[in-house]
Structure 1
Amino acid sequence: MLLASPCCRVCAPSAVPLRYGSAPFTPETRTLSPVIVLFLLIQIMAAPPTYVDLGKSAKDVFTKGYGFGVIKLDLKTKSENGLEFTSTGSANTETSKVAGSLETKYKCAEHGLTFTEKWNTDNTLGTEITIEDQLAKGLKLTFDSSFSPNTGKKSGKVKTAYKCDHINLGCDVNYDINGTAIHGAAVVGYEGWLAGYQTTFEAGRNRITQSNFAVGFKTDEFQLHTNVNDGTEFGGSIYQKVNEQLETAVNLAWTAGNSNTRFGIAAKYQIDADASFSAKVNNSSLVGLGYTQTLKPGIKLTLSALLDGKNINAGGHKLGLGLEFQA
């Protein structure tokens, strides 16, 4: 190889010192120069996100840190043998409906296996088995089933996902009482540009019932996402990381044949390592506010409020409280 040749200027002691930025390579760092040169010559793009995760950064700014009209409690624990327990309870302040769920997960990293058991207060039982990076690098297989003893309803899913440089593919097959449905998605990426397609085919109806397309551009600090769903729904979002403390997002959506355009802006400010403040507003004058505080390691408190800007004095505003424990 040229890099390994004794006469190569990168490796030869008599060569003029190379510079990376403003610092020259010293004798101690000169041995690392082939790695740096390879890094400069070869640009490797990581696998693009899945279709549902396109524009995720903007979605997170709009959704995370809020819980309007709900009192929620989350508990996450992990045993010494790697068994994870997650329990969630919530109460709707308007309907007074209480819901809860319990999930146990065990990972066998040596064999790339993950076993998950789920239960919720609707008395639905679920089992999920995942195999990752075993049959092929980047290939993930998931077998998911659910059963409701009260209604006798059963369903099953076989999910496949494959990702490598520049490509992310997915294909899911769902079985339930309504028949068989096949969901497919593909995302390709090149130098920050992303394009994806998502479709659903229902075997019982012998027709495609969903056809979505998305295009976007992504960097570490900026993301642009546009999408068209079934040729009738159009949407777009912009995410900007202004600095280490401030993130902003804008979204826009409209439906063909309808002059009503939906528009919103949101921001999240990281006050310090333990506290953050979020705010958002849309064209309907609904204002959302959220505050998250880490009370101590493993304990997080979230307070949120949804205000109707057109009727500030009329009431009807929604408050939310969330408490998360993790051990």
Structure 2
Amino acid sequence: MNYTDTVGMVTDYAILWVCFICRFIPSFLKNVIFVAYLQQQRQFKRADISPFVYVTDRMAVPPAYSDLGKAAKDIFSKGYGFGIVKLDLKTKSQNGVEFNTSGSTNTDTGKAGGSLETKYKMKDLGLSLNQKWNTDNKLTTEVSVEDQLAQGLKLALDTSFVPNTAKKSGKLKTGYKRDFVNVSCDIDFEGPVVHSAAVLGYEGWLLGYQMAFDTAKSKLVQNNFALGYKAGDFQLHTNVNDGADYGGSVYQKVSDQLETAVTLAWTSGSNNTRFGVAAKYQLDKDASVSAKVNNASLIGVGYTQCLRPGVKLTLSALIDGKNFSTGGHKVGLGFELEA
């Protein structure tokens, strides 16, 4: 890369971040100032704002590491199903057993697949039983106990079995969450690999760390960091994976009808920067439209309509903007039935 290219790249990044600061920082500062004002009022007039101060003092449990930046991820993923025709059916028996059946076919390859999942909860004992079978003939079972040994503590055993190959696997999962902290530790017996993660939260700020350690090789195989901020209708998330992959996302609920999201990703040692913008607009209580575009000129559009209570239709299309006239575009159709 010569000097001119380097200067050009730095200039592009500078313009991008200036636009970001001008657009989102005012909202961020507004929320920070508001929180500071509440803290000052709490010292002198605690009784006047006691309901809200209680919420501020007792911050909600932070999300799990995998759910950091989830609001932006949902804007990019939900309401789309490119190249797939899918049917989902959800039912619930009188004794509380939930049945989730899903079937789909790929319009490009013609491959079809499906799954059947059952869920049963014994609330008095804090016990949950999930079983799932798919057309690849894989059986999975998860048994979990929550809030029994200690408030906020969850223990689970997740197993899988493939009859055709007699392959078996198991994973012991533990999680603990309370105000300001959410931690988890999973042991994969197949490795054996230990997966752990922790998220700390305070007044909207979120700090997360995720790692995986291969005990057989005594090697750290995953090392991820994340930092975010959440304030009502605004969320900011950044992450670094293994010191090589950098990413960030911004989510903002502009109004009751409009939600927007921006993602940015970059890998060290590569000049390929991924950038995307997405939005979702609620037409009315039963219909919404979604759209997204990335720097590869891939344009996605989606339409979701609730035909009647328990019946939802989703239509989506993916358009290749660089090869608009040559074809290769994808469409998707989805039905969700719930009874």
Q: TM (normalized to structure 1)?
A: 0.88
Q: Distance in 2 between matches of 1:241 and 1:37?
A: 26
Q: Distance in 2 between matches of 1:216 and 1:262?
A: 20
Relative to structure 1, is the Cα distance of residues 74 and 40 closer, same or farther in structure 2, using a 3 angstrom cutoff? Answer: closer
1:50 to 48, 61, 64: 64
| Aligned pairs for 1:151-162 within 5 A | 151-162=165-176
Partner of 2:324: 312
CA contact (8 A) 2:87 2:102 kept: yes
Is residue 79 of structure 1 aligned with residue 93 of structure 2? Answer: yes
CA deviations 1:58-86 (Å, max 9, x no partner) are 00000000000000000000011100000
CA shift at 1:39, angstroms?
2.6
CA shift at 1:44, angstroms?
1.4
Partner of 2:285: 273
CA shift at 1:38, angstroms?
3.2
Partner of 1:38: 50
Relative to structure 1, is the Cα distance of residues 96 and 36 closer, same or farther in structure 2, using a 3 angstrom cutoff? Answer: farther
Q: Distance in 1 between matches of 2:48 and 2:181?
A: 26
CA shift at 1:36, angstroms?
5.9
Aligned pairs, how many?
293
SS at match of 1:62: helix
SS at match of 2:322: helix
Q: Distance in 1 between matches of 2:107 and 2:169?
A: 31
1:206 to 195, 218, 233: 218
1:88 to 93, 102, 112: 102
| Aligned pairs for 1:21-32 within 5 A | none
Is residue 252 of structure 1 aligned with residue 275 of structure 2? Answer: no
CA shift at 1:37, angstroms?
4.8
1:285 to 287, 297, 301: 297
CA deviations 1:25-58 (Å, max 9, x no partner) are xxxxxxxx99765335542101100000000000
CA deviations 1:286-308 (Å, max 9, x no partner) are 00000000000000000000000
CA shift at 1:205, angstroms?
1.6
Q: TM (normalized to structure 2)?
A: 0.85
Partner of 1:135: 149
Q: Distance in 1 between matches of 2:89 and 2:53?
A: 47
CA deviations 1:93-122 (Å, max 9, x no partner) are 111111100001111111111111110001
Q: Distance in 1 between matches of 2:254 and 2:96?
A: 38
Is residue 126 of structure 1 aligned with residue 127 of structure 2? Answer: no
CA deviations 1:112-143 (Å, max 9, x no partner) are 11111110001011111111111111111111
Q: Distance in 1 between matches of 2:316 and 2:48?
A: 47
Partner of 1:10: none
Which amino acid counterpart does residue 106 of structure 1 have in structure 2? Y
Q: Pairwise CA RMSD of aligned residues? A: 1.3
Is residue 236 of structure 1 aligned with residue 252 of structure 2? Answer: no
Identity score, percent: 62
CA contact (8 A) 2:46 2:53 kept: no
Q: Distance in 2 between matches of 1:37 and 1:256?
A: 48
CA deviations 1:254-313 (Å, max 9, x no partner) are 000101100000000010000000000000000000000000000000000000011111
Which amino acid counterpart does residue 207 of structure 1 have in structure 2? K
Partner of 1:107: 121
CA shift at 1:206, angstroms?
1.4
Structure 2: tracts of 5 or more residues without a match:
1-44
Partner of 1:190: 202
Q: Distance in 1 between matches of 2:49 and 2:104?
A: 54
CA deviations 1:215-258 (Å, max 9, x no partner) are 00001200000000000000000000001000000000000010
SS at match of 1:251: strand
Give the structure with higher Rg (CA). Answer: 1
Relative to structure 1, is the Cα distance of residues 317 and 129 closer, same or farther in structure 2, using a 3 angstrom cutoff? Answer: same
Relative to structure 1, is the Cα distance of residues 313 and 79 closer, same or farther in structure 2, using a 3 angstrom cutoff? Answer: same
